[in-house]
Amino acid sequence: MLEEHNVSVERNVELLKEMFGILHDKNVAELLAHVHDVVRIYFDVYTGKAGMIEYTTFVGFCKDFSIFPELCSKMVLHSTFYALAFVNSRVIDDPDPSTRRTHHPT
């Protein structure tokens, strides 16, 4: 079981590397800058006042916008959600912004 956990963690790390690589692409950054306000509306609807999304709601979001199963498998969805949750938990656990490795402006 520990071996399965290590494989899952390694897969999440690889997914994070891919996501951060995508976010560093200039074209993607420009696109996100243009759609941020519109996406923020949907983000607020799906996350509610807490600004957090539960796994089942995340899956619902991905179904609503034809991300799952059209663009990615449930395994990729699962790994992506928990990888991002891990990153988010690291940000929340570290209140000193100067030591954070990730940042999500609201």
d(CA 62, CA 100): 28
98 vs 68, more confident: 68
Neighbours of 79 (CB within 10 A): 18
Quote the percentage of the chain above a pLDDT of 90.
7
Q: Which pLDDT tens digit goes with each residue over 13-28? A: 776 677 667 666 777 6
- Measured from the Cβ of residue 88, the count of other Cβ atoms closer than 10 Å reads 15
Please report the pLDDT score of residue 73 as a whole number: 86
Two tokens, residue 55: 């796994």
For residues 27-46, one letter each, b for 16 or more C-beta atoms within 10 angstroms of the residue's C-beta and e for the rest, the string is eeeeeeeeeeeeeeeeeeee
Q: How far apart are alpha carbons 91 and 103 in whole angstroms?
A: 7
Q: How many residues does the chain have?
A: 106
